[in-house]
Structure 1
């Protein structure tokens, strides 16, 4: 019976792993499991002496080399690509560094890809440590506030492209490490954040339940980070009327000069065309922004969202069903293997007893 029990435990573990494989997206892996480390060699113009990342006091037109030590922790060679990436804000409301070409996601006056140049590739032998050098070339034009981003180190053998917010399934781990970079010229003048509400549009809440949602594009228009951001969004038919949908999120963050789409979930209700009112309050420390705006949802936009939400939800249930069938199959297999092992053991015991009697 112990043999059958062991098979049952193994099968249960296997089923759990397989179910996770089918139903979940594999997330980006940072320090844990990356198999390599990166460390900043901080120069003399490091502004924050206690920071483990680059926080540099620079001047217009300055040219400077910065060095990073990269160590391979594994017994196999590694091919690493280092991207100088400007920070942006993901639609989850957190700062991210994994895109080299931001397009509309950042309105920073200068990008790190312009200041530090092209991505670099490095090959590490097993257990080898190397120093990678990037050259900073500051623009002649002055800027206030900060330029923020990271050197984003990607293991090219586990990921072939830079992507984020992927929809659908993925079975590829992305092993990456981000080493922060902050560049500042004026260290005496503080810059206050300023938030702006841009376009209101429709979409689906693809990070949760594939429900129809209203999206509000919020923009941090200043070269300063916004931390501990709280957003409260309310949708009603008109200002002051009954709130139809409400969303509250806390502890969000925005990169300098960036924007993102804040979603207000319709909780699986069918999106209907018509006129609505948006009331949104954003707070960060002593700063507060209040936005009120009427907006319209067209029939074509509502129909498109409802169709997409239904398709996404149907696919979700399909994956859950397949996962459940897979688990059932593994349990059935484990049962018959355990039963076969128990019968085999019983037969062997019977033969042993018979041999003793003979």
Structure 2
């Protein structure tokens, strides 16, 4: 876990760098590590705590610009984004995390701070541990968001503009038992139809995977295959490497349909997940309803096969040519027949 710069755009883009100061942010944050820092070499908070403990943790914030800065600091629990990476930008996670306690409960409400040009200040959060014990780790970050957006940037897409917002995420790890090792455990939840926004808005099958233990899953590789029946020909396959999952979190792993129309029917899902010495294999039958396929296909970017239409147009064109030839030939025949009839009726001289 490192101090990371997150450049927020519309649409959102994530950029991470292992430094306390990132170019463009205009401010820095530095952890003032206390005596109960577990990893003495870490530049983030990695604290050994006990149930019911109360202490202050301090962060040094410096404005690097010649303008006033207004920054909001959020104590956020880590979750796993649908890109398969840990993220820290949400204060209210709802269903994205099943951690026993959230940092927003332990470190309190978000705090606002105003920095004069080139000013440094110390921001203090009061940590209040629950009386109930927990296993593994509680993980997240103090997320410092610059409230001011940059100048508007035009894009080459009609009707879309971009505004930048910068944030720094200072990691927070809380642990009570530093001796016991908690093994990760993954399970597969719901399979649903959706759209893969990182694959040119292709129709996709989404598999919700959950890390059920209070430990991070690192260097995760996922391989998913969709077929009509178990062991039959693979219709769609996806392999993603170097993913990561936050403790007690879930995310939607997507297998895109390569911009083809989604078809209703019965299918089989086969997923292999590996992280170091750990391996999980999931097999499940699932159904895509006609209603769901229709809804997705209306929204998805689909490369449609128009061969049948060109063939139909070709057949219609040939029929049209034959019909024109027939009517022209018939008209010529009728005209000649009329002329012959009139010639026959003329009196001989």
TM norm structure 1: 0.77
Alignment of structure 1 residues 305-344 onto 2, 5 Å: 305-310=296-301
Cα distance in structure 2, aligned partners of 1:170 and 1:191: 46
* Residue among 2, 10, 13 paired with 1:27: 13
Match of 1:54 in 2: 45
Q: Is residue 2:28 matched to residue 1:43?
A: no
Between the two structures, name the one with larger relative contact order (CA 8 Å, sep ≥ 6): 1
Cα distance in structure 1, aligned partners of 2:145 and 2:14: 10
Q: Is residue 2:261 matched to residue 1:270?
A: yes
Q: Is residue 2:127 matched to residue 1:127?
A: no
Match of 1:116 in 2: 107
* Residue among 130, 133, 137 paired with 1:139: 130
Alignment of structure 1 residues 47-86 onto 2, 5 Å: 47-86=38-77
Give every structure 1 segment of 4 or more consecutive aligned residues whose post-TM-superposition deviation is greater than 3 Å. none
Cα distance in structure 1, aligned partners of 2:12 and 2:141: 23
Q: Is residue 2:182 matched to residue 1:182?
A: no
Cα distance in structure 2, aligned partners of 1:29 and 1:106: 23
**Structure whose CA Rg is larger:** 2
C-alpha RMSD over aligned residues: 1.7
Match of 2:321 in 1: none
* Residue among 203, 211, 215 paired with 1:224: 215
For the structure 1 residues 223 and 209, does the alpha-carbon distance in structure 2 shift closer, same or farther, using more than 3 Å as the test?
Answer: same
TM norm structure 2: 0.79
Structure 1 residues without counterparts, runs of 5 or longer = 1-23, 160-167, 315-358
Query: Between Structure 1 and Structure 2, which shows a larger proportion of helix residues?
Result: 1
Q: CA deviation at 1:25?
A: 3.9
The question of whether the paired residues in 2 share the 8 Å contact of 1:54 and 1:180 is answered with yes
The question of whether the paired residues in 2 share the 8 Å contact of 1:274 and 1:298 is answered with yes
The question of whether the paired residues in 2 share the 8 Å contact of 1:275 and 1:296 is answered with yes
For the structure 1 residues 154 and 250, does the alpha-carbon distance in structure 2 shift closer, same or farther, using more than 3 Å as the test?
Answer: same
For the structure 1 residues 42 and 62, does the alpha-carbon distance in structure 2 shift closer, same or farther, using more than 3 Å as the test?
Answer: same
The question of whether the paired residues in 1 share the 8 Å contact of 2:115 and 2:121 is answered with yes
Q: CA deviation at 1:186?
A: 0.3
Per-residue CA deviation, residues 228-276 of structure 1 (Å, 9 max, x unaligned), is 0000000000100000000000000000000000000100111000000
The question of whether the paired residues in 1 share the 8 Å contact of 2:259 and 2:301 is answered with no
